[in-house]
């Protein structure tokens, strides 16, 4: 399951304090990979831009199911892992 984004980070002007890259794959890294593929930093930015409370996730895995890009096209994701080992280091983890 994705950790819940706290109320503090849903303010419109929230900016990350720092960023580091993922070294090993995890559920959190998988979901960040999906947000970043669709053009967002993470769930926080997606919720700010799209003005949504909930992101659609697969009930079995908790991974993001679909995301709407800024140009309004949709990305649909599989239940299984999509972020391959070679892509893990490309994922940016933002700290608020």
Q: Model pTM?
A: 0.84
Per-residue model confidence as pLDDT tens for the chain (96 residues): 444 454 444 455 678 899 999 999 999 999 999 999 999 999 999 999 999 999 999 999 999 999 999 999 999 999 999 999 999 999 999 998
Q: How far apart are CA 90 and CA 68, in angstroms?
A: 21
Asked whether 30 and 1 are in contact (CB, 8 A), the reply is: no
Asked whether 74 and 66 are in contact (CB, 8 A), the reply is: yes
Task: Output the DSSP codes for 74-89.
Answer: EEE--SS--S-HHHHT
Per-residue confidence (pLDDT) for residue 6, from 0 to 100: 47
Per-residue confidence (pLDDT) for residue 13, from 0 to 100: 65
Per-residue confidence (pLDDT) for residue 14, from 0 to 100: 74
Per-residue confidence (pLDDT) for residue 3, from 0 to 100: 47
């Amino acid at each position: 399951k994705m950790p819940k984004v706290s109320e503090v980070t849903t303010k419109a002007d929230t900016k990350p304090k720092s960023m580091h890259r993922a070294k090993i794959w995890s559920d959190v890294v998988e979901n960040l990979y999906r947000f970043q593929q669709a053009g967002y930093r993470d769930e926080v930015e997606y919720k700010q831009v799209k003005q949504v409370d909930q992101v659609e996730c697969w009930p079995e895995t908790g991974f993001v199911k679909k995301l709407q890009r800024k140009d309004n096209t949709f990305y649909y994701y599989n239940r299984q892992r999509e972020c391959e080992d070679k892509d893990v280091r490309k994922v940016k983890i933002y700290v608020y």
